[in-house]
């Protein structure tokens, strides 16, 4: 089944100690949509300016991503520039030019309104609400977020949590939201805010799911070096939702395997700048790493 | 089979934001020996002063730990006092009184010299060498360490790494030793220093084994709160060695299951001050958490 993905579509200029890569294809929806595309059809909703490179539209199309919900407007595409420190854990923003993204209102084409699986990738909670307002009874809705919205749009976010099935955030955001250092204690508090499924991302330490059936500890695929972690979290949740939308059988088991597949797509994402490595990956290479993760965790 | 454990035997005074516990039974060898005792016979080698409380000797005996290698000398038992911050991750040392430990030389009774499994728990590398000098062809030797020895006895430690099968250290120590942020890259470098088996402990994020057969990603048992993490790493490696010494079949599979069992014993350790919770645990409770970890990681 198709998965609907709404989020940011951007140009990322990324600096690391070893390299500088200007105006790469980026944004939460771009990473998530490409990741999901390995598992089945994807509908992307976002906005770009008329400066958006044609080669990036071709890249979306190469992944058979439905672009009928991508708005192209007069003006500049959202442009983010950031710099990573040597250890790749800390990054600082050098530049944020919102461009056409500043006035983005996600409009869903009629074909999108009945999508059973919905990923509200990282954008303002008010826009995530606006997407749900247009939907007709989706089967499974997951929202991602970032620290910015916890700081400036917490009320909107808290209202959103009552409308979604799953909520994905990283460990520092979970701490910010709940004041709990312990991820398991934090997840318990987040359930009380609404979501039945809570996933906390811990970067190279993997991720954890808390669900009605208990916890699932999901490993990260072991990488010896990371070129660029930008978009890894979006790739994780995108891959997870893409897998989930196309799997048969019980939800909980599929969600676990979805996290594993998302974790693998995220590992490819980290191996190249922007989407460079991810877009060169074949499904067989993903399945191979999933098999390796089975071996790596068996006891 | 029996496991020989050599390390520190101490009194720990532990302060947390919520409580203060003076003169608990502590030290690397105490935690490791109690943890190993759940799986089979343990020989402890260490030193205490004549102020060492009788109740702690009884505690060792309750765990059927062979104390023929425990030296009792005129003077004070090694006393360490430390304080944890609210998040339980950072601790600072308030006091270190070495007492009789200052002149400790581990002497192995003849019965100990042929022990097939040896855990050199955290003590000075020169003492770890001295233990190996007395051994006759042990089957499997694992050494633990701490940042102090990387700072003041690096040469001794590097020589030791050529004499052991396995080396256990935490992620920050691995970084200090190899200058690598990435644990997998760090393990590759540590293999080149000698050990065939390298285990990096990552606290609540679990641990990772690197062996000739590849990596194993070992989860930590999920805890909602941690009372006192002192000795968790020693419990982990002690439990692992105790399990390993008493398991049949291929080493690698046993090492993986040993890490899982060690991880579970470490989780109990964190649930009480010092050894209070661990010493109240029954084998069945350990097996139950091992089963839960199987569930928690299955996909």
Query: Which of the 8 DSSP states describes residue B87?
Result: T
Q: Cβ contacts of residue A160 below 8 Å, gap of 6+?
A: A120, A125, A128, A129, A132, A143
- Give the number of residues written for chain B: 299
Query: CB–CB of B237/B168 below 8 Å?
Result: yes
Q: Two tokens at A31? A: 């990473």
Across the interface, whether the CB atoms of A181 and B89 are under 8 A apart is answered yes
> What is the average pLDDT across B75-102?
91
Residues of A in contact with B216 (CB under 8 A): 296-297, 299
> Chain B window 147-206: which residues touch A at a Cβ cutoff of 8 Å?
181-185, 188, 202, 204-206
CA distance B273 to chain A (A): 18
Considering only the beta carbons, identify the residue of B184, B218, B260 that sits closest to A222.
B184
pLDDT of residue A88: 75
Q: Can you list the alpha helix ranges (DSSP code H) found in A246-298?
A: 251-270, 283-297
- Cα dihedral B174, B178, B179, B180, rounded to 10, equals -70
pLDDT at B89 exceeding the cut of 80: no
Q: Cα distance from B151 to chain A (closest Cα, Å)?
A: 22
- Could you count the other beta carbons within 10 Å of the beta carbon of residue A227? 21
Chain A, chain B: beta-carbon pairs less than 8 Å apart? 81
Q: Is the pLDDT of residue B88 over 90?
A: no
Q: What is the pLDDT along chain A (299 residues), one digit of tens a residue?
A: 999 999 999 999 999 888 899 999 999 999 999 999 999 999 999 999 999 999 999 999 999 999 999 999 999 999 999 999 877 778 899 999 999 999 999 999 999 999 999 999 999 999 999 999 999 999 999 999 999 999 999 999 999 999 999 999 999 999 999 999 999 999 999 999 999 999 999 999 999 999 999 999 999 999 998 999 999 999 999 999 999 999 999 999 999 999 999 999 999 999 999 999 999 999 999 999 999 999 999 99
Chain A within 8 Å of B285 (Cβ-Cβ)?
Answer: no
- The predicted pLDDT at position B148 comes to 94
Q: Which chain B positions have a beta carbon within 8 Å of A253's beta carbon?
A: 299
Q: Is the ipTM of this complex over 0.95?
A: no
Residue of B nearest to A86 (CA): B181
Q: Do B208 and A222 make contact, defined as CB atoms within 8 angstroms? A: yes
Nearest to A205 among B184, B202, B218 (CB): B202
A290 to chain B: nearest residue by CA? B299
What is residue A3's three-state secondary structure?
strand
Q: What is the mean pLDDT of chain B?
A: 96
C-alpha neighbours within 13 Å on the C-beta side of residue B35: 38
* DSSP secondary structure string for all residues of B100-126: GGGG---PPPGGGTT-SEEEE-SS-HH
User: Between A182, A205, A299, which is nearest B260 by CB?
Assistant: A299
Q: How far apart, in Å, are the Cα atoms of B201 and each of A11, A207, A245, B40? A: 38, 17, 36, 24
CA distance A217 to A260: 10
E strands, chain B, in order: 3-6, 10-15, 20-26, 42-49, 65-73, 79-84, 91-97, 117-120, 140-144, 166-170, 197-201, 207-211, 214-218
Can you tell me the distance from the alpha carbon of B182 to that of B175, in angstroms, rounded to the nearest whole number?
A: 8
CA B77, CA B83: separation in Å to the nearest integer? 20
Each residue of B203-255: pLDDT tens digit? Answer: 999 999 999 999 999 999 999 989 999 999 999 999 999 999 999 999 999 99
Look at the block and give the residue holding tokens 């979604």.
A164
Asked if A214 has any chain B CB less than 8 Å from its own CB, the reply is yes
Residue of A nearest to B253 (CA): A299
Max Cα–Cα distance, chain B, nearest Å: 56
> How far is the CA of B282 from the CAs of A246, A298, B37, B274, in angstroms?
44, 25, 11, 17
CA distance B243 to A93: 49
- The answer to whether residues B144 and B120 touch, using CB atoms and an 8 Å cutoff, is yes
* Pairing, β B42-49 against β B20-26: unpaired
Bridge partners for B15 per DSSP: B20, B83
Identify any residues that bridge with B178 across adjacent strands, giving them in sequence order. Answer: none
User: β-strand B79-84 against B91-97: which pairing, if any?
Assistant: antiparallel
A270's tokens: 């980290």
* Least CB–CB distance from A182: residue in B218, B224, B295: B224
- Using only C-alpha atoms, chain B has a radius of gyration, in whole angstroms, of 18
Q: Does A256 touch chain B (CB under 8 A)?
A: yes
**Chain B residues close to A298, C-beta within 8 Å:** 256
Q: How far is residue B170's CA from residue B177's CA, in Å, rounded to a whole number?
A: 11
pLDDT digits over B23-76, tens only? 999 999 999 999 999 999 999 999 999 999 999 999 999 999 999 999 999 999
Q: Does B249 touch chain A (CB under 8 A)?
A: no
pTM of structure: 0.96
Residue A23 CA to chain centroid, in angstroms?
A: 19
């Amino acid at each position: 089944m198709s998965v609907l993905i709404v989020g940011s579509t951007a140009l990322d200029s990324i600096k690391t100690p070893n390299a500088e890569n200007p105006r790469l294809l980026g944004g939460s929806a771009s990473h998530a949509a490409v990741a999901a595309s390995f598992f089945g059809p994807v509908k992307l909703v976002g906005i770009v300016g008329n400066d958006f490179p044609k080669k990036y539209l071709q890249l979306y199309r190469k992944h058979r991503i439905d672009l009928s919900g991508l708005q192209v407007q007069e003006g500049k595409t959202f442009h983010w520039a950031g710099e990573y420190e040597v250890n790749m854990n800390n990054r600082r923003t050098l530049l944020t030019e919102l461009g056409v993204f500043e006035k983005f209102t996600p409009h869903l084409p009629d074909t999108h309104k009945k999508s059973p699986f919905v990923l509200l990738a990282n954008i303002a909670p008010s826009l995530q609400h606006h997407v749900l307002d247009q939907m007709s009874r989706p089967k499974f809705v997951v929202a991602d977020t970032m620290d910015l919205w916890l700081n400036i749009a917490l009320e909107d976010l808290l209202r959103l949590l009552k409308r979604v099935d799953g909520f994905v955030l990283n460990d520092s955001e979970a701490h910010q939201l709940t004041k709990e250092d312990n991820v398991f204690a934090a997840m318990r508090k987040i359930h009380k805010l609404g979501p039945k499924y809570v996933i906390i991302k811990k970067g190279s330490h993997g991720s954890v799911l808390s669900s009605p059936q208990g916890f699932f500890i999901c490993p990260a695929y072991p990488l010896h070096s990371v070129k660029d972690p930008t978009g890894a979290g979006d790739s994780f949740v995108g891959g997870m939702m893409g897998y989930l939308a196309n799997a048969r059988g019980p939800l909980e088991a599929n969600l676990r395997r979805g996290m594993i597949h998302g974790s693998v797509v995220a590992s490819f994402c980290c191996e190249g700048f922007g989407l460079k490595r991810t877009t060169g990956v074949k499904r067989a290479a993903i399945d191979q790493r999933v098999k390796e993760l089975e071996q790596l965790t068996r006891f």
